[in-house]
Amino acid sequence: MSAAKAEITLEGLGRSFGSVRALDGVSLRLESGRIHGIVGPNGAGKTTLLRILAGLLRPGSGTLAITLDGKTPSPEKLKAALAYFPQEQSLYPDLSCMEHLEFFRDLYGISAGDFKTRAARLLEISGLARFSDRKAGQLSGGMYKKLGLACVLLHSPSILLLDEPTIGVDPISRREVWNLLYSFAKEGMLVALTTSYLDEAERCASAALLESGKLLLCGEPAELLKRAGAASFAELFLASTGGGK
Amino acid sequence: MSPKLRVAASIALKELRHIRRDPFTLAMALGMPVLLVTFFGFIIDFHYKNISVTVFDHDGTPASRRFAQSLGASGYFRLSKAHEGLTPDYALENDKSFSALVINPGFGRDLDKRGAGPSAQLLLDGSDNAKTGVTLGYFQQASAMAFDAARGQRSPPPSSPVSTRFLFNHELNSRWFIIPGLTVVICGLVGILLTALTVAREWENGSMEMLLSTPARPGSIIAGKLAPYLALGFCGVAFVYAAARLVFGVPFCGSHALYAFSCLLFLLAATAQGLFISIATRQQQLAMQFSIVSGLLPSLLLSGFVFPVDSMPLFFRWFTCILPPRWFMETSRDLFLKGAGLADLWPQFLMQALLCAVLLALGLKKFKTDLEP
């Protein structure tokens, strides 16, 4: 489904808001075909990091390099290859699911033919086909998130950035959202998401543990747990921050 | 369709859907013009009729009676004869009457006399200076005719060195003056108040964050946001025009194409101003407050709608130059009543276009394409 092979490299990335240091020397490498989890408690700097990746905030220090098929794209090309769904409510409560999809079709300049097949597929796999006339404000938490995903995935992006996609979503819908993400990663998409549910780190191909703007740990979840001798990410987080002592 | 135009059209369609589904916006857009036309058109009327006049006829001749009757026949005055013991001062002091006409003895005898002539006095309640001024104007015109009637057309009236005639609004009908100006107030209201909420609402709803991550550019977003409110404003203009012509009988002497262009120019300036407020404040409540102060007050107070710009202190006269309502007020009235053409109105058009460009440029410059604080 994705068009180009993407890679994101962060080196010593920092960002402050006044006297608050939101990000402090974060270095990461994110690549296509994988789900990258940015995990941490509230206020860890996850949203700031994702907004920087989405081009909505500027890095204060360090470097951020994004490539598509090995080349640095222009800002316009990058926007066209990127999809971002924020944590906050960001859809229009009075517009229906189909009206949302049509709106994003025009924002991304998708042809009528492509739209027909992509919208049908996204509605089908997200289980929203039956609710295409329902207004976003009347959707459940899970369906709302899935509609957001369908909107930003319409243009077949290479990079998918999701801020807390499973927050406020019931366990069954959470599983459905994860299954959707696995299928997109399998097709070669670079998926980066933030979550404050520490247990969700284990569902990712790689996890980056953030606390107070600093990167505590980064790697494959199973490997990280094994190395620390921890049973869960909650235990690992407490051990890493000294909270378990 | 170019990608930018497609994005603008898509945003415009989305806005139309919001407007259609939002009772507050719909009520503001459609209800306010009706309310304002009713309020200003029917209630505010400087075209006084039935002004009460108590007549103290101390002459008591057929000529003095004809003079008073003729004044009453003009339709502006409601005459009543002073009863025994009533004095003019008492009649005015106790609100028995707005004015008192005292016809002195010898009025009939001196009618044809050159020099001093007949003697009568009109006493007016000066505590209402607007009504007093208008009454005086009526009296001067009506009394000239009443003198003729009193004379029974026995001789030609004594000629005055200055003759007065009102052009464009012969009767000085205040509705002819007020209604064309209402277009300015309604466009100001619909254009500024409604547009002021659109971008602020996107910020408050959180949808702006998602919109900014898409390839949509500020120019397309602004164009898409302005278009539906321009159309709504035009509906308001059409409503006021129809009410002016059909309900209030205001003549339209100018070019309709020029009037439509003038409305479009002003609406564009008003919506651009609303959008700038919305972009700058990013909060609906704050945007609403700013738009009322910066939108409605200039339309009502500083445009010449009720208070003439030429009578304002020098600072305000200059200050009104940077307010689009002032220029549109002139074009609207001149097109309705004077039938002015482009040759007369080009300075007003130029100023409106200039202010429009400045407001749009400010909106574009201030439009944030990221979430930086």
Predicted pLDDT at B79: 87
Parallel, antiparallel, or unpaired for β A6-17 and A20-31? antiparallel
User: pLDDT digits over B315-343, tens only?
Assistant: 999 999 999 999 999 999 888 888 888 88
Predicted pLDDT at B142: 77
User: Best mutation site among A57, A89, A92, A104 for testing chain B: the one with the most B CBs within 10 Å?
Assistant: A92
Inspect the interface and report whether the beta carbons of B213 and A56 lie closer than 8 Å: yes
Instruction: State the first-to-last Cα distance of chain A, in angstroms, to the nearest integer.
Output: 47
Q: How many pairs of residues across A and B have Cβ atoms under 8 Å apart?
A: 76
* B79 SS3 class: strand
Inspect the interface and report whether the beta carbons of A89 and B205 lie closer than 8 Å: yes
Distance CA B8, CA B3 (A): 9
Predicted pLDDT at B324: 93
* CA-based nearest residue in chain B for residue A48: B371
B342-366 vs B324-333: helix crossing angle, rounded to 10? 150
CA distances from B215 to A98, A156, B185 (A): 20, 14, 37
Distance CA B54, CA B95 (A): 11
Inspect the interface and report whether the beta carbons of A56 and B370 lie closer than 8 Å: yes
Q: How far is A78 from chain B (nearest CA, A)?
A: 9
Fold designation for B51-151: abc type-2 transporter like fold (3.40.1710)
ipTM of the complex: 0.89
Residue by residue, pLDDT tens for chain B (373 residues) are 788 999 999 999 999 999 999 888 888 888 888 888 888 777 776 667 788 889 988 888 888 888 888 888 877 888 888 887 888 888 888 777 888 888 888 887 777 766 666 678 888 888 877 778 778 877 877 777 777 777 776 555 555 555 556 666 766 677 777 888 888 888 887 789 888 988 899 999 899 999 999 999 999 999 999 999 999 888 888 888 898 889 888 888 889 999 999 999 999 999 999 999 999 999 999 999 999 888 888 888 888 888 888 888 999 999 999 999 999 999 998 888 888 888 889 999 999 999 999 999 999 999 988 888 8
Domain span including residue A46: 6-89+158-241
Q: Does any domain span residue A98?
A: no
Q: Chain-centre distance of CA B173, in angstroms?
A: 12
Instruction: Pick the closest to residue B176 from B255, B259, B240, B250 (CA basis).
Output: B250
Inspect the interface and report whether the beta carbons of B10 and A103 lie closer than 8 Å: yes
Q: Does any domain span residue A36?
A: yes
Nearest CB partner across the interface for B10, out of A82, A83, A107: A107
User: pLDDT digits over B101-132, tens only?
Assistant: 888 888 877 777 666 666 788 888 888 777 78
CA distances from A235 to A114, A239, A241, B154 (A): 46, 6, 10, 117
Q: DSSP letter at A199? A: G
Q: DSSP letter at A1? A: -
Inter-residue contact A125 to A106 (CB < 8 Å) = no
CATH of the domain at A51: 3.40.50.300
Q: DSSP letter at A96? A: B
- Would you list which residues of chain A are within 8 Å, Cβ to Cβ, of chain B? 17, 51, 54-58, 76, 79-80, 82-86, 88-95, 99, 102-104, 106-109, 148, 151-152
Inter-residue contact B302 to B185 (CB < 8 Å) = no
- Give yes or no for B207 touching A (CB within 8 A): yes
Inter-residue contact A21 to A12 (CB < 8 Å) = no
Q: Chain-centre distance of CA A78, in angstroms?
A: 16
Residue by residue, pLDDT tens for chain A (245 residues) are 446 899 999 999 999 999 999 999 999 999 999 999 999 988 899 999 999 999 999 999 999 999 999 999 999 899 999 999 998 889 999 999 999 999 999 999 999 999 999 999 889 888 889 999 999 999 988 899 889 989 998 998 999 999 998 887 788 888 888 988 999 899 999 999 999 888 888 999 999 999 999 999 999 999 999 998 888 888 888 888 776 44
Predicted pLDDT at A245: 45
Predicted pLDDT at B24: 82
DSSP letter for each residue of B350-365: HHHHHHHHHHHHHHHH
Nearest CB partner across the interface for A80, out of B17, B209, B215: B215
Predicted pLDDT at B322: 93
Distance CA B244, CA B247 (A): 6
Q: Does any domain span residue A136?
A: no
Inter-residue contact B229 to B308 (CB < 8 Å) = no
Q: Which of residues 334-373 of B touch A (CB under 8 A)?
A: 370-373
Inspect the interface and report whether the beta carbons of B21 and A94 lie closer than 8 Å: yes
- Give yes or no for B260 touching A (CB within 8 A): no
Extended strands (E) in B177-225: none
> How many CB atoms within 10 Å of residue B126?
10
Inspect the interface and report whether the beta carbons of B210 and A85 lie closer than 8 Å: yes
Inspect the interface and report whether the beta carbons of B215 and A90 lie closer than 8 Å: no
Query: Cα torsion at A213, A218, A223, A229 (round to 10°)?
Result: -30
Instruction: Pick the closest to residue B291 from B268, B315, B273, B267 (CA basis).
Output: B273
Q: Does any domain span residue A79?
A: yes
Nearest CB partner across the interface for A106, out of B7, B17, B212: B7
Inspect the interface and report whether the beta carbons of A104 and B214 lie closer than 8 Å: yes
Instruction: Pick the closest to residue B81 from B44, B109, B55, B108 (CA basis).
Output: B55
Inspect the interface and report whether the beta carbons of A107 and B214 lie closer than 8 Å: yes
Inter-residue contact B59 to B147 (CB < 8 Å) = no
Nearest CB partner across the interface for B209, out of A17, A88, A95: A88
User: Best mutation site among B20, B214, B217 for testing chain A: the one with the most A CBs within 10 Å?
Assistant: B214
User: pLDDT digits over A173-227, tens only?
Assistant: 888 889 889 998 999 999 999 998 888 889 999 999 999 999 999 999 999 999 9
Q: How far is B332 from chain A (nearest CA, A)?
A: 38
| A contacts of B209 (beta carbons < 8 Å) | 56, 86, 88, 90
Q: Which residues neighbour B352 within 8 Å (Cβ) at sequence distance 6 or greater?
A: B262, B265, B266, B269, B324, B327, B328, B331
Residue where the block lists tokens 């780190």: A201
Q: How far is B177 from chain A (nearest CA, A)?
A: 42
Distance CA B201, CA B199 (A): 5
Inspect the interface and report whether the beta carbons of A89 and B209 lie closer than 8 Å: no
Inter-residue contact A70 to A142 (CB < 8 Å) = no
β partners of residue A195: A39
Nearest CB partner across the interface for A107, out of B17, B21, B216: B216
* Angle (CA) B178 B181 B182, round 5°: 85
* CA-based nearest residue in chain A for residue B369: A56
Q: Which residues neighbour B175 within 8 Å (Cβ) at sequence distance 6 or greater?
A: B41, B45, B47, B248, B250
Residue where the block lists tokens 């007016």: B124
Inspect the interface and report whether the beta carbons of A86 and B209 lie closer than 8 Å: yes
Q: How far is B197 from chain A (nearest CA, A)?
A: 15
Predicted pLDDT at B182: 84
Specify the number of domains making up chain A: 1
Nearest CB partner across the interface for B206, out of A90, A102, A109: A90
- Give yes or no for B9 touching A (CB within 8 A): yes
Distance CA B349, CA B265 (A): 8
**What does the block give as tokens for B169?**
């609004």
Inspect the interface and report whether the beta carbons of B372 and A58 lie closer than 8 Å: yes
Predicted pLDDT at B299: 86
Q: Where are the domains of chain B?
A: 3-44+173-366, 51-151
- Give yes or no for B212 touching A (CB within 8 A): yes
Burial A94-132 (b: 16+ CB within 10 A, else e): bbbbebbbbbbbbbbbbeeeebeebbeebbebbebeebb
One-letter amino acid of A52: I
User: Best mutation site among B21, B370, B371 for testing chain A: the one with the most A CBs within 10 Å?
Assistant: B371
Q: How far is A239 from chain B (nearest CA, A)?
A: 34
